[in-house]
Amino acid sequence: AQKITQTQPGMFVQEKEAVTLDCTYDTSDQSYGLFWYKQPSSGEMIFLIYQGSYDEQNATEGRYSLNFQKARKSANLVISASQLGDSAMYFCAMREGGTNFGNEKLTFGTGTRLTIIP
């Protein structure tokens, strides 16, 4: 089974509108972290936002917020007031707790290509 599922291969959104990128995850660990990264066409991976499994509040970072629904195992990224510079690939990733000395890796979804239309 896929650990991270991103069901939207591509999205087109009008500039200034809000956009939600979907992410569902699968883990049996109680302690885990969820991350979103942005990859522009230049190729670098840019960290956007983090949500811990024990965090009671949804994470926010500027125009980015994470809609965390633990029971549904979803961690959707919401970008408010989209800008042309938001056009990029967006990856959802998970880090599971495991032992103290293992499971340090990030497992990534297949990504969503977001295109902002002027």
Q: Which residues bind other proteins (CB under 8 A)?
A: 31-33, 35, 37, 43-47, 50, 52-53, 91, 93, 95-97, 101-108, 110-111
Q: Which is nearer to other proteins, 25 or 35 (CB)?
A: 35
DSSP for 59-88, please give it. PEETTEEEEEETTTTEEEEEESS--GGG-E
Give whichever of 13 and 48 is closer to other proteins, judged by the CB atom.
48
Please state, in angstroms and rounded to a whole number, the distance separating the CA atoms of residues 21 and 90: 8
CB of 15 to other proteins, least distance (A): 26
* Shortest distance in whole angstroms from residue 117 CB to other proteins: 26
The Cα–Cα gap between 81 and 16 comes to: 4
